[in-house]
């Protein structure tokens, strides 16, 4: 078994004091969790930091009695020892009485992509599967990890968001991500492990200084701490201040985003005219915030190229690729279009589904409904379906409140639906007859004057994206 134990020469008394201090710190940290949470998911690699975290959860069973606890170990398949590590993790969790889940992922190295980043993204995608709105994901990141993250982001030329590094508590998937040990350094974890006689696995790749993070850990960090012993505490203070600054920037971006989308029907389209009226810094800030919500990190060069194209000519075509998305311009709005969008598939619904508020998700879109609208509810004898443009040969229809009929193609043009979105626009049908074009219009014959029917809402589902934590 590739396991290790602490070989620290720290005195027993000092270790006991450190252990007591860490126990108190952990208890205080747990109290910071939002009251609505009832589940804890622990990301457990089997290494020192997550082993200490697991033991702290075991030792603090009384403080955590309001939570169910699940432990998830992700096998990346990168080491021939991975199976033995998984078994070590399983046995330890069983000894503590914790539910254990082994998740296996396969990650292929890609040109111009960091293998570390690919592994991290795959790991958090798996962990996100276990995180709902009542769940906190706990990880064992500590102060040394924070220093490494800060230096890596500094090397990349990051702004406030990157230099703010890892926050202790942040939104993740539908729940939160919590790092209760972020102010604790590795030597404190080793001292605690010594008092508890803990064993853990050692990943041989952690000593390979071909990886930037390992170079910082084994070469750069010791030099910094030897020169300035208080460097980690200063760094913690700086990252907290940077996180406050980023919070203010996010608040400003939220206000701007609301202004830029309030006249449009879709959350993934920004009105260009008011966007251009903002200062360059404020404009870049709201764009970064908007794109980051989609899991994208625009470079300074990409933003500069974007504004160059927009300023060139008002009606000029614009298309910039960023990740698996493209930025496009249509009808004086800036759109973010996912290149690998879903293939529309019809959905059969029951009339009873509309008796109360609900929603359906397809691709990155969410169609929801509630009472208080003008669309007649389906009677129990009607067949209800969600269909798409490809199911019809450009039908002609009458929209409630309008004179005459128009083709579906003409109506979508009038409603300002971007050409690349038209095939994905859901059409609500009763007995194969279109009764509503998404949330844009209700067809004649299905409109009721009093707001006692259905109100439809089509939105982009931001929560379907799993943001790989900083």
Instruction: Give a yes or no: residue 466 inside a domain.
Output: no
Q: How many domains in the chain?
A: 3
Claim to verify: residue 316 and residue 366 sit in the same structural domain: no
Interval 310-335: pLDDT, tens: 877 666 678 788 888 889 888 888 98
- Partners of 407 in beta bridges: 396
Residues 299 and 355 in one domain: no
Co-location of 386 and 287 in the same domain: no
The CATH code of the domain that includes 114 is: 3.40.50.620
Mean pLDDT to the nearest integer, 265-278: 82
The last residue of one of the domains, among 303, 338, 373, is 338
Give the CATH number for residue 304.
1.20.59.20
| Structure-token pair, residue 423 | 């095939």
In this prediction, residue 356 has a pLDDT band, given cuts at 50, 70 and 90, of: confident
Quote the domain boundaries for residue 49. Answer: 11-230
Task: Please indicate, yes or no, whether residues 299 and 203 belong to a single structural domain of this protein.
Answer: no
If you average pLDDT over residues 109-128, what whole number do you get? 81
8 A C-beta contact, residue 124 and residue 466: yes
What number is the average pLDDT over the span 402-421? 91
Specify whether 386 is located in the same domain as 315.
no
Within 38-81, where are the H helices? 48-59
CB neighbour class for 223 (10 Å; exposed up to 12, middle 13-18, buried from 19): exposed
Please compute the mean of the pLDDT values over residues 366-370 and round it to a whole number.
Answer: 90
Summary mean pLDDT of the chain:
89
Q: Is residue 420 in some structural domain? A: yes
pLDDT tens per residue, range 7-43: 555 677 777 787 888 999 999 999 999 999 999 999 9
Predicted confidence band of residue 355 (pLDDT cuts 50, 70, 90): confident
Question: Do 294 and 436 sit in the same domain of this protein?
Answer: no
- For residues 132 and 247, give the distance between their C-alpha atoms in angstroms, rounded to a whole number: 24
DSSP assignment of 354-383, as one string?
GGS-EEEEETTEEEEEEEEESBPPPPTTS-
Separation of alpha carbons 131 and 137, rounded Å: 7
Considering the domain boundaries, does residue 56 fall inside one?
yes
Residue 6 has pLDDT above 60, yes or no: no
The answer as to whether 453 is a domain residue is yes
Confidence at 2, pLDDT banded by 50, 70, 90: very low
Query: Residue 464: its pLDDT value, please?
Result: 37
Average pLDDT over residues 351-355: 90
Residue 412 lies in a domain: yes
Distance in angstroms (rounded) separating the CA atoms of residues 74 and 217: 23
Predicted confidence at residue 324, as pLDDT, reads: 80
Residue 37 lies in a domain: yes
255 domain-assigned: no
Please identify, among 316, 338, 360, the residue that sits at the C-terminal boundary of a domain.
338
Query: 219 with 276, same domain?
Result: no
Say whether pLDDT at 466 is over 50.
no
User: Which pLDDT score is estimated for 332?
Assistant: 87
| Whether residue 384 is found in the same domain as residue 272 | no
Q: Which residues contribute to the annotated binding site? A: 45-50
Phi, psi of 65 (to 5 degrees): -65, -20
pLDDT at 200: 96
User: Does residue 199 share a domain with residue 109?
Assistant: yes
Provide the annotated binding site for ATP. Answer: 45-50
Q: How confident is the model at residue 201 (pLDDT cuts 50, 70, 90)?
A: very high
| Per-residue pLDDT at 370 exceeds 70 | yes
User: Does residue 1 have a pLDDT over 60?
Assistant: no
Considering the domain architecture, whether residues 23 and 139 belong to the same structural domain is answered as: yes
54 is a domain residue = yes
Domain boundary among 338, 361, 392: 338
Q: Are residues 219 and 365 in the same domain?
A: no
Q: Specify the pLDDT at position 37.
A: 96
Q: 193 vs 113, which has greater pLDDT?
A: 193
Separation CA 373–CA 453 (nearest Å): 5
Q: How far apart are the first and last CA of the chain?
A: 31
- What pLDDT shows up at residue 110? 66
Instruction: Identify whether residues 301 and 352 lie together within a single domain.
Output: no
pTM: 0.79
Least confident of 104-118, 157-171, 452-466: 452-466
pLDDT of 358 > 80? The answer is yes
Task: Supply the pLDDT for residue 153.
Answer: 94
Query: Which of 428, 425, 423 has its CA nearest to residue 353?
Result: 428
């Amino acid at each position: 078994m590739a396991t290790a134990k602490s070989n620290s020469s720290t005195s027993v008394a000092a270790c006991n004091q450190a252990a007591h201090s860490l126990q108190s710190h952990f208890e205080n940290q747990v109290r910071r969790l939002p009251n609505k949470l009832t589940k804890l998911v622990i990301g457990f690699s089997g290494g020192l930091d997550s082993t200490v975290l697991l033991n702290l959860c075991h030792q603090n069973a009384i403080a955590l009695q309001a939570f169910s606890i699940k432990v998830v170990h992700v096998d990346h398949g990168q080491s021939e020892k991975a199976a033995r590590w998984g078994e070590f993790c399983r046995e330890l969790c069983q000894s503590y009485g914790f539910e254990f889940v082994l998740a296996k992922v396969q990650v292929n190295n890609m040109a111009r992509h960091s293998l570390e980043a690919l592994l991290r993204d795959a790991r958090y995608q798996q962990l996100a599967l276990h995180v709902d709105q009542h769940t906190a994901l706990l990880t064992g990141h500590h102060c040394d990890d924070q220093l490494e993250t800060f230096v890596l982001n500094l090397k990349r030329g990051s702004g406030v968001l990157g230099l703010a590094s890892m926050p202790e508590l942040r939104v993740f998937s539908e729940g939160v991500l919590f790092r209760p040990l972020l102010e604790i350094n590795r030597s404190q974890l080793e001292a605690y492990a010594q008092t508890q006689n803990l064993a853990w696995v050692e990943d041989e790749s952690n000593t390979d200084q071909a990886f930037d993070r390992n170079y910082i850990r084994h070469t750069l960090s010791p030099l910094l701490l030897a020169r300035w012993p208080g460097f980690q505490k200063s760094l913690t203070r700086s990252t907290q201040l940077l996180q406050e600054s980023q919070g203010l920037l996010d608040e400003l971006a939220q206000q701007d985003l609301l202004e830029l989308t309030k006249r449009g029907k879709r959350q993934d389209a920004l009105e260009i005219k008011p966007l251009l009226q903002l200062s360059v810094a404020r404009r870049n800030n709201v764009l970064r915030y908007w794109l980051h919500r989609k899991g994208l990190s625009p470079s300074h060069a990409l933003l500069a190229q974007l504004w160059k194209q927009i300023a060139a000519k008002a009606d000029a075509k614009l298309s910039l690729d960023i990740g698996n998305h493209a930025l496009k311009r249509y009808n004086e709005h800036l759109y973010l279009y996912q290149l690998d969008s879903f293939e529309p598939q019809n959905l059969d619904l029951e009339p009873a589904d509309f008796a109360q508020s609900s929603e359906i998700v397809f691709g990155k879109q969410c169609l929801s409904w509630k009472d208080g609208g003008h669309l007649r509810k389906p009677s129990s004898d009607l067949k209800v379906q969600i269909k798409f443009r490809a199911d019809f040969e450009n039908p002609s229809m009458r929209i409630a409140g309008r004179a005459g009929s128009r083709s579906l193609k003409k109506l979508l043009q009038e409603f300002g639906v971007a050409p690349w979105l038209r095939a994905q626009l859901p059409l609500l049908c009763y007995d194969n007859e279109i009764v509503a074009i998404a949330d844009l219009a209700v067809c004649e014959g299905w409109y009721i004057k009093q707001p006692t029917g259905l109100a439809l809402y089509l939105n982009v589902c931001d929560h379907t994206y799993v943001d790989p934590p900083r």
